[in-house]
Amino acid sequence: MPDSSHFEFRDINCPACGGDLHKFVGWRGGRAHHSGSGELTAIVRCIHCTHQYPNPMPFPKGNLDELYFDADKYFFGHDIEKKKENGLRMMRQFEERLGKKGRILDVGCGVGENLWAALQSGWQAEGVDPSSEFIRLGKERLGVSGRNCTLEEAGFCAESFDVIMMSSIIEHLYDPFMVLVEATKLLKNGGWLWLDAPNEDGLYMRLGNVYMALQRKDWVVVMAPTFPPYHVQGFNPSSIKTLVERSGLYVREINMIGAVCEQTGEKTLRKRAEYLAASAVNRLGRAFNSGTYMTIWAQKTV
């Protein structure tokens, strides 16, 4: 687990809109975490676009490999067969939108389930991931060859992809705008970007923050900037739209999805009760378009 010596805290402008006005919303990590995980980090909300982010931002000093080194820990609870099935379903959706199969890029391909699904479905597929361990496992377990690099390092040709997917990636990026500008450049005209992200303004998160306030704590439950799973961007439907459209794409659809994960570790009565309450809140949130997770479909248009 990286400690404070692994992070360098620097003031930044809003990663979604570039604006420089924000207000403090609460503390996260360290003394402001129920089990003391990570470093104490200030969470702010952008006045312009309502995006939430840590400011100062904790940038890792070393290679990203130091954060994402343990695939079994990082993907704990992920069912590989389910993820492969989900990948096949995604490919059918891409084909429907595009009207044909084509060339797809999976940014942050992890251990490669979507790459596997794309190849199985008859797409030309590429994947990139900064974790050498994930790329190695993808090859070993699924026989797929992702590239161990960032999107910018990969050097793909402009306008060479029909679909770019970013599954559970954007909330991890320190400069999501730069990555989306690159993705926009790589898409052909009419091509699609699909991504998903937690909705940090969902009912579940809002009630979690209220729960903290009721306990007279100046803590928030949004993101996890310095501890697993290292979420450093707190999007909501409005701020993700702002970011994606600033990068040059047109947002066609935002859908609310997602379920609450059962917590790992000791199964106490209290944890069980908290899980049941969280599930009920999440169902309610989805019903009122205020769910925990969202998917975004955006298109490059001339």
The residue among 47 and 213 lying less far from Zn ion, judged by its C-beta, is: 47
> Quick one: which of 13, 19, 145, 174 contacts Zn ion (CB under 5 A)?
19
Contact between 235 and 202 under an 8 Å Cβ cutoff? The reply is no
Total of chain residues touching Zn ion, rule CB under 5 A: 8
- Applying CB under 5 A, the span of 51-59, 192-200, 226-234, 287-295 interacting with Zn ion comes to 51-59
> Quick one: which of 32, 44, 49, 118 contacts Zn ion (CB under 5 A)?
49
Q: How far is the CB of 22 from Zn ion (least distance, A)?
A: 8
Contact between 297 and 194 under an 8 Å Cβ cutoff? The reply is yes
> Quick one: which of 33, 51, 83, 103 contacts Zn ion (CB under 5 A)?
51
The residue among 19 and 208 lying less far from Zn ion, judged by its C-beta, is: 19
Helix and strand element counts for the chain (H, E): 9, 11
Which residues neighbour 18 within 8 Å (Cβ) at sequence distance 6 or greater?
177, 246
Q: Among residues 71, 74, 121, which one has the least CA distance to residue 94?
A: 121
Q: How far apart are CA 19 and CA 49, in angstroms?
A: 8
Q: How far is the CB of 245 from Zn ion (least distance, A)?
A: 13
> Quick one: which of 2, 12, 16, 164 contacts Zn ion (CB under 5 A)?
16
- Applying CB under 5 A, the span of 43-51, 76-84, 151-159, 287-295 interacting with Zn ion comes to 43-51
**Does residue 17 bind Zn ion (CB under 5 A)?**
yes
**Does residue 125 bind Zn ion (CB under 5 A)?**
no
Q: Which two tokens stand for residue 141?
A: 């377990």
Strands, DSSP E only, in the chain? 7-10, 22-28, 41-46, 52-54, 57-60, 103-107, 124-128, 161-166, 187-198, 250-257, 293-299
**Does residue 90 bind Zn ion (CB under 5 A)?**
no
Q: How far apart are CA 75 and CA 39, in angstroms?
A: 22
Contact between 52 and 43 under an 8 Å Cβ cutoff? The reply is yes
**Does residue 43 bind Zn ion (CB under 5 A)?**
no
**Does residue 48 bind Zn ion (CB under 5 A)?**
yes
Q: How far apart are CA 85 and CA 80, in angstroms?
A: 9
**Does residue 118 bind Zn ion (CB under 5 A)?**
no
Contact between 183 and 106 under an 8 Å Cβ cutoff? The reply is no
Binders of Zn ion among 126-165, rule CB under 5 A?
none
The residue among 13 and 279 lying less far from Zn ion, judged by its C-beta, is: 13
Q: Given the rule CB under 5 A, which residues bind Zn ion?
A: 14, 16-17, 19, 46, 48-49, 51
